[in-house]
Structure 1
Amino acid sequence: MKRRLFLQLPYAAIAGSISTALMMPALALSREQITDATAFHAMRRFANLPSGKIAYVERGQGDVALLLHGAPLNGFQWRGAIDRLSLYRRCIAPDFMGLGYTQVPAQQSLTAHAQLDMLISLLDHLKIGVVDIIASDSGGAVAQLLAAGYPERVRSMLLTNCDVEPDSPPAGVQPVIKMARAGTLADETAKWLSDNTLARATFGAAVFHNPAILSADNIACYVTPLVSSALRRQQYHDFHLALEPNPLAGIEAKLKRSNIPIRIVWGGSDTLFSMADANYLDRLLPQSRGIRVIPEGKLFFQEEYPDVIAEEARRLWTV
């Protein structure tokens, strides 16, 4: 999984029967109408699974949309998309093990394949058979593993900037992995809680077109669980160390045979995952519906442009 932790930047310096509802135009929501951190915390649920106490947010009814976040984020990344899509899908946004508010024991593996096992267990626990996936960053790597290993459980997949087999982990995440190996990553990340300006100037500038999206509450929502205890700090490190070896090695042959409809939406200004990665996915996946580029978008553009995610997801679902 990719941890686009992505402070990479100054961190490198310190990454028919289609329903009428589906055919309706997406609602335009103002910033004030978007779910804030307090409301999102109130929505959080937990599933007691063999791997641990898995945190997730659920909203809406009907067919399920599974939203998979990147690192060092959690399900809060998708709040804007959930606001827009929960009218049309039962949206479920889990927190991966080692990130967010999910709690797992010290011995639990945090590899991409272990994360996949956790997701399958969560879907079974919630009695969910098939999902529409929306994924980002390291979550995109797990999404591809899910599509390759359990194709019968994936109805469609919307992939944004994320790992691909030839670029996993990308070179830009190596500074973060090195900090994790040295045991300094959690300490550097914890500084963002007391210095929001630093968070925006480093991490924020690396992954957002407008780093101001990182309000104090949003920073706290992302960072607090990662550094809340010695165990969580170690797991934050272990998550990044588990990005090697390449978790997607050997997956290409299975994806070449995939019949799952795919749409690719890519931030064109991302310094971690290039347009070459998007083009690779488009060529590889037989049912690709092409690429939409957000020219100014960086790694986590999904958080800044939830209307784009909602528009593209609903278009994909009507195919």
Structure 2
Amino acid sequence: MYTASDNRYNNNSVRHAGSTGLMLPPISLGLWRHFGSADPLSERRKVILHAFDKGVFHFDVANHYGDGQTGFGTSEELLGQILKDDLKPYRDELVISTKAGYEIHDGPYGIGTSRKSLLQDIDDSLQRLNLDYVDIYYAHRYDDQTPIEETVRALDDIVRSGKALYVGVSNYEVPELKQAISLFKKLGTPFVLDQMSMNLLNDHVETSGLAKLLEDNGVGAIAYGPLCEGLLSDRYLNGITDDFNIHRTNTDLLDKGQDALVAKLNKLNDIAKNRDQTLSQMSLAWLLKDPVVASVIIGTTSVEHLDENLGALDNLKFSADEVSEIDGLIRG
């Protein structure tokens, strides 16, 4: 039987989602890839429980996750099994988030954020997760086929039903986010987070005005893909392999060619070495230097990689010279 480490909160600061009372660990664990039914439960269990032992109490999933090949929803099922068998005594310590909006089943209500889709999706997610409620429920994407008012009202009703404590949105840009924030405020909905693709090489959240909009309204940003599919590690310092699959939000990083990007990665790696950090650690620290960022969601199936990533928390400060040099590389 699993018993959590007594030291799980040692030296692990928490961060608030905007001006709200929701607290998150600086580094969270996401179950996007390789946490479906085709993956070994015992190995994934080891990573999830090790994360909790290290103070990672936020686990992020979505009803769409499961790689499709084994069936959408299987990542929720995997997490649900561990929540039931191992983490049930610690439920009050955990922050569990899930999302709806991408494909989950056949038919017109198997995708999108209509009222019907969201209300049935939350029930299905809770069943797979073996939970009575989730802590955060997201609209996974902006659905241009559904009025924002309908999506916002459905999310508000889900909170009022007790099936979620807080709500968020993901992949919303400034125009739709402005509208959603206004509607959430009118309803008094506990809207706390915008989950976006964010990494050291991709400053879209800042340059688009999203970060300022979130800050001005007391809402936090939470980063997915903070290591840019592994680009921000030592894996590609000698060249990018042909099978590398970059996320759609980062494709412009290759506009000047692979060689130029690899050269940039090596220059960033040199800065990281001077900070006694790996490139991955510096990349996570870079995002966390912004107070609007409530947490960064890493994805790993390795205990060793998890521990290395958590090492980022040992040095979150950047000198003015480091900021200037990194900014120059990002925008160069």
- TM-score > 0.5 by shorter chain: no
Whichever of the two has the greater Rg, that structure is 2
**TM-score between both structures, scaled by the size of structure 1:** 0.35
**TM-score between both structures, scaled by the size of structure 2:** 0.34
